Amino acid sequence: MRHWSQRTEIPLRRFIIWLGIAASRFHDWRTRYGLANEHNALVPRDWWLEPWEKQAVLEFHAAHPLEGYRRLAFMMLDTDVVAVSPSSVYRVLCNAGLMKLHNSKPSLKGKGFQQPLRVHEHWHVDISYINVAGTFFYLCSLLDGCSRFLVHWEIRESMTEAEVETIVQRGRERFPGERPRIISDNGPQFIAKDFKEIIRICGMTHVRTSPYYPQSNGKIERWHKTLKGECIRVKTPLSLEEARRLVTEFVAHYNEVRLHSAIGYVTPGQIGRPRSGDLRGAGSQVQPPV
């Protein structure tokens, strides 16, 4: 068109009108002239993962098979293994056939609930069962709702209302200046008159979740699921003493090492017990219960 426009001295715009095409399309064609056609096609990336990086991802996944691909990406970044995005980790694991693909419904968690804005504003408490060599024991946990820091836990052969009071009181002794809101379900230990009285005396408040709706206390329910799936059922303790030892080790790992997806892939200890110069939270160091 440029050739005939110069020979006939007819404006290029007239040729475009005669051909019945848009001026913008013609200018796009002229801009892309001589280049590879990239329209509606995959554009080559500037940086590709090298074979050693893919192998490092696979080896790190083999060493941490229970971690998700997003957590793996941040863990590898923290340990200077390889710096790749979560989507790249996902593609590498998918190509190796190591991802469990499944369809899941969108989560409705957090709807209508005001999340805590500071550490030790909410403490979630709940009781669960632990199967140790065919015998069920009671596990009572106290979890901070903001940092997901495990404040206190105990495994007992029984779990009466007085024992729950003791567990809550021991959690308060670790943070004596805090007056959290206690969030629990409607179990008999939590609706007892004496439990309400101890909450009042300690200057705390108590909120119970909706009946038959465990999602209302989902933070601590998820903690119990994580503990059972990554510790109890994997290591299979054969005695109560061994179960307490394994849970003590896992709680230390959970609070100080394991990256938590709900708080931005940092450890609960970094928020619940910040280091010098870290302004993301406030708290004191919590020792594992004896």
Could you give the dihedral angle defined by the CA atoms of residues 43, 45, 46 and 52, in that order, rounded to the nearest 10 degrees?
A: -160
- Using one digit for the tens of pLDDT, what is the confidence trace for 125-158? 999 999 999 999 999 999 999 999 999 999 999 9
Give 213-230 as a DSSP string.
Answer: -GGGGHHHHHHHHHHIII
pLDDT score, position 288:
37
Helix axes 12-19, 23-31, angle to 10 degrees: 110
CB 107 within 8 A of CB 75: no
pLDDT score, position 276:
41
- Using one digit for the tens of pLDDT, what is the confidence trace for 37-55? 666 666 666 678 999 999 9
pLDDT score, position 110:
53
DSSP label at residue 260: B
How many C-beta atoms lie closer than 10 Å to residue 190's C-beta? Answer: 21
Q: Which residues of the chain are under the pLDDT cut of 70?
A: 36-46, 101-112, 273-290
User: Shortest CA distance to 75 belongs to which of 258, 285, 268?
Assistant: 258
User: Shortest CA distance to 49 belongs to which of 99, 90, 98?
Assistant: 90
Using the structure block, give the residue that is written with the tokens 């004496």: 194
Tokens of 179: 């007056």
pLDDT score, position 214:
80
Please state, in angstroms and rounded to a whole number, the distance separating the CA atoms of residues 259 and 253.
10
Using the structure block, give the residue that is written with the tokens 């970044």: 77
Please state, in angstroms and rounded to a whole number, the distance separating the CA atoms of residues 142 and 153.
6
* Helices and strands in the chain, H and E counts: 12, 5
Looking at residue 91, its amino acid is: R
State the CATH class of domain 122-272.
alpha beta
pLDDT score, position 290:
36
Burial of 145 by CB count in 10 Å (0-12 exposed, 13-18 middle, 19+ buried)?
buried
The verdict on pTM exceeding 0.95 is no
